Structure 1
Amino acid sequence: MKPKITVIGSSNTDMICRVRSIPRPGETILGNDFLIVQGGKGANQAVAAARAGGDVTFITCVGNDAFGQQAIEAYQKDGINTSCIQKIDGTSTGVALINVADSGENSIAVAPGANAHLTPEKMEEFRDVILSSEIVLMQLEIPLETVNYVTRLANQANIPVVLNPAPARIIDKEIMSMLTLITPNEHEAKLISGHLSFACSEMESASEIQNQGVESVIVTMGSKGAYFIDGISHGMVKGIKVQAVDTTGAGDTFNGYLVVEWAKNKNLPEAIKKANKAAAISVTRMGAQPSIPYANELAEF
């Protein structure tokens, strides 16, 4: 049986320009390749979870425009249930403008568009879908009040909630205590934990976040791997070093694979290993969703 995963989050169209280096403020540089691909943290994670072998329902809002229709069609090709995607008149589908340097680093500006319409009232329409999930996965490119509403709803029904807190924001302590798992990167972990010092280790950040009531914490560290702490154990799961071409969507690939693997065997370190491998493959390719591997590719990597 495929794990039943509900992903609630953003849907964007990514406009990507390959550049020699990330332009400084006021600087104009000539780019190389230009791509238009599907993106958005919620959408990326939904696609990753589907390609990992999950039974995925994606709840989002898109504009009633060509970008929105193209996005829905792309999700359907990946076997994602799109019945909970709403088209919003009078606003555009979310757009991300992305510069990707030759080093693999990126800079991103996002215009949320229809994502701002993903409100708690919309979540009430999909209450039964959320309550039928094995795991709910969310991020922070949507209104924070929506994340809070869904977290309370799922928590009352004892449904695990996984939050990828990106882009980083301060989260209410009551909500933190209802999360089953939170997956910040190193910088997000420092902000959420309150330890903004560069000297603060990922272990200290994770411990402080867990002290806020979260059951389990994973601090992702790129090619170095990920540090985890839960109610049973803690430790570092090594990453995989590859030649990065584009790091866009690597964290989303990690999260999508993580929830599916975790739902299958309930073993967090093993789920992290698979997610690390999927993320490593993704950075060797251009674009967010085009770079996400299928499950059979992990066996060959």
Structure 2
Amino acid sequence: MSIVILGVFAADCAFRGQRLPSMGETVLGEGFALGPGGKGSNQAVAASRAGGDVHFVTRLGRDIFADMARDVWGQAGVTPHVTEDADSYTGAAFIYVNADSGDNAIIVAPGAGGQLSPADIDAHAALIGGAAVFVTQLEQPMEAAHRALQLARDGGARTILNPAPAAEIPDAMLALCDVITPNESEAEILTGIAVASVDDAKRAADALLDRGVGAAIITLGENGALYRDRDTTLHVAAIRAGAVVETTGAGDAFNGGFAAALARGDSPADAVRFGNATAALSVTRAGAAASMPDGHEIVALLSRQG
């Protein structure tokens, strides 16, 4: 069963250090890495490595970062569906990683991916409409995501929106989402409810259900994830796979693993648990796409949990 993901590729320029500089200040870093990223691309890599048949729809420039994108998709088994844009550039991201905690702060310049339009989506209508599971985020223009969700829904796909970066989303678009997957801060921006506990997450999920989504998954970091639809509430505990190296890409790992599990027919509870395990493994490694685990690693971690 195919998974189609719409999103952006960005080359991640990751700097490790003790703190971000203030305006006008220069600080010495403790490390640097250049690697593949972008939320949609990361999710495609995660879903494919987790065992999914993944197709990725995006735009790229004609430059060295586009070559990087094609290489990483080829290695992960992702089938790309790319519109090339010679007048733009392939996306890039600045990532600051705190050397002590592994937490991160990110600036993304989507480049060609930021030019994705409803016309680009219509050019891939048959692919999107034929998906078993469709996933998108908000790094590309919202109009493109909205059109793709409509085509996927019309074709009978299970639709997943990862609302990142957080933005105001019209109710008509939320009504096309079988599942929405915000983290705590994204849930607060969408609902106005500060999420500091599982009970807060339940209230935020209810607010999203009231706006038309089929189910909400609020990812809670070390507190796992809350799944809530109109009939079921599940708090799925986090899984620990080892020491945290950095959290870049953890949300993308969750979404990719979750999509792969749904596509093969797992229940929501099992799919959330699979997503948690995918994310748990990813944070034990540096990088975004480079940190995504293989399916056998995820299954082995779950089997050790009992």
Per the normalisation by structure 2, the TM-score is 0.93
CA contact (8 A) 1:282 1:291 kept: yes
* Alignment CA distance shift 1:236-1:24 (3 Å): farther
In the TM superposition, residue 158 of structure 1 has moved relative to its aligned partner by 2.6
Confirm or deny that 1:85 pairs with 2:72. no
Q: How does 1:111-122 map to 2 (within 5 A)?
A: 111-122=109-120
Structure 2 counterpart of 1:188: 186
* Alignment CA distance shift 1:23-1:144 (3 Å): same
Structure 2 counterpart of 1:243: 243
**Quick check: 35-44 or 238-247, which moved more?**
238-247
Q: How does 1:132-211 map to 2 (within 5 A)?
A: 132-196=130-194, 201-211=200-210
**Quick check: 118-127 or 190-199, which moved more?**
190-199
In the TM superposition, residue 124 of structure 1 has moved relative to its aligned partner by 0.8
- Give the Cα separation in 1 of the matches to 2:237 and 2:260: 20
Structure 1 counterpart of 2:262: 262
- Give the Cα separation in 1 of the matches to 2:213 and 2:21: 38
* Alignment CA distance shift 1:203-1:113 (3 Å): same
- Give the Cα separation in 2 of the matches to 1:24 and 1:32: 17
- Give the Cα separation in 2 of the matches to 1:196 and 1:239: 20
In the TM superposition, residue 269 of structure 1 has moved relative to its aligned partner by 1.0
In the TM superposition, residue 24 of structure 1 has moved relative to its aligned partner by 4.3
Q: How does 1:1-301 map to 2 (within 5 A)?
A: 3-82=1-80, 84-102=81-99, 103-196=101-194, 201-241=200-240, 242-301=242-301
In the TM superposition, residue 151 of structure 1 has moved relative to its aligned partner by 1.5
In the TM superposition, residue 112 of structure 1 has moved relative to its aligned partner by 1.3
Per the normalisation by structure 1, the TM-score is 0.95
CA contact (8 A) 1:22 1:107 kept: no
- Give the Cα separation in 2 of the matches to 1:122 and 1:197: 36
Q: Gapped runs of 5+ residues in structure 2?
A: 302-306
Q: Gapped runs of 5+ residues in structure 1?
A: none
- Give the Cα separation in 2 of the matches to 1:281 and 1:165: 23
User: Which amino acid in the other structure matches residue 252 of structure 1?
Assistant: D
Alignment RMSD (CA, Å): 1.6
Instruction: State the percentage of identical aligned residues.
Output: 36
Aligned residues: 298
- Give the Cα separation in 2 of the matches to 1:24 and 1:232: 48
